[in-house]
Structure 1
Amino acid sequence: MGIFDNLLGNASEANIEKIEEELIDIFANGEHVERAFNIFRDLFVFTNKRLILIDKQGVSGKKTEYHSIPYKSITHFSVETAGHFDMDSQLKIWISGTSAPISKQFGKNNNINKVQKILAGYVLN
């Protein structure tokens, strides 16, 4: 993926082995990465137990937020795709006990449908 795609927020599949090495200290027993997507500096990590949203913050990206969402806590989600004049798509995830969704932006030419399909597979099981 090129730097221009990164700036537009286009999602690409991440290297699972590398992600597992980075997250080994936060995994529960028996947990492992099944799929992962880069969106600029952020990550969507689908494990066999939960969705982890990783938000790299600041100029250096050293400050990191790990948002763990058990699949059973996701009540519903939506995808808004980009139109002809839109520059981005949006994924919203609602978690039980909260009124406002978690919202993530994707670039126009992205894998938002692939992310949605994987999310549906975990949430609907």
Structure 2
Amino acid sequence: MSIISGLMGNAAKTDIDEVKKDYGKLLGEHEEIIQAYQWVRDLMIFTDYRLLLVDVQGATGKKVDYHSIPYKSIRHFAVESAGHFDLDAELKIWVAGLGADPLVYTFSKDADVYKVQALLAECVGR
């Protein structure tokens, strides 16, 4: 992930082995990481069972919120592609039980939001 992209709040694909090393303790016995995207400190981790959102909070980063969303709870999702003058694309996810507002995540052009959407479609369709 480029430093500038991260500072702008855009996610980019990250190394799965690093994610496994750092967050493997959160996984179930047979759960595998499929793909991960990282912002400056936060992560979106696709596993074969769920979407795991890691929100590092505070200046020290000692407080971390782990949000687990089973794919069956995802009701709708949308992609807004980056335009000619936009530097980023957005993924919006509507989750049952979280109200009418979607979760919104910004991705850099490098992340290929269409691949992210295709991965989410594959996981939700299981």
Which aligned pairs between 1:1-125 and structure 2 lie closer than 5 A?
Answer: 1-97=1-97, 98-125=99-126
- When normalised by structure 1's length, the TM-score is 0.84
In 2, distance between residues paired with 1:84 and 1:108?
A: 11
Partner Cα separation in structure 1 for residue 91 and residue 120 of structure 2 = 11
Q: 1:24 to 1:107 in 2, by over 3 A?
A: closer
Alpha-carbon displacement from aligned partner over 1:67-107 (angstroms, at most 9, x marks no partner) = 11001111110111222333432211111233221111223
The aligned length equals 125
Q: Does the 8 A contact of 2:34 with 2:48 survive in 1?
A: yes
TM-score normalised per structure 2: 0.83
**Counterpart-to-counterpart distance in 1, 2:114 and 2:9:** 14
Q: Is the 8 A contact 1:36 1:46 kept in 2?
A: yes
Check the 8 A contact 1:31/1:48 in 2, yes or no: yes
Which segments of structure 1 move beyond 6 Å, counting only runs of 4 or more? Answer: none
Closer/same/farther in 2, CA of residues 107 and 24 from structure 1, 3 Å limit? closer
- State the alpha-carbon separation in 1 of the partners of residues 75 and 15 from structure 2: 29
Secondary structure (helix, strand or coil) at the match of 2:31 reads coil
Native 8 Å contact 2:10 2:106 kept in 1: no
Contact 2:11–2:106, Cα closer than 8 Å, also in 1:
no
C-alpha deviation, 1:108, in angstroms: 4.6
Runs of 5+ consecutive residues of structure 1 not aligned to the other structure: none
Gap regions ≥5 residues in structure 2: none
Q: 1:10·1:109 contact (CA, 8 Å) conserved in 2?
A: no
Q: Percent identity?
A: 45
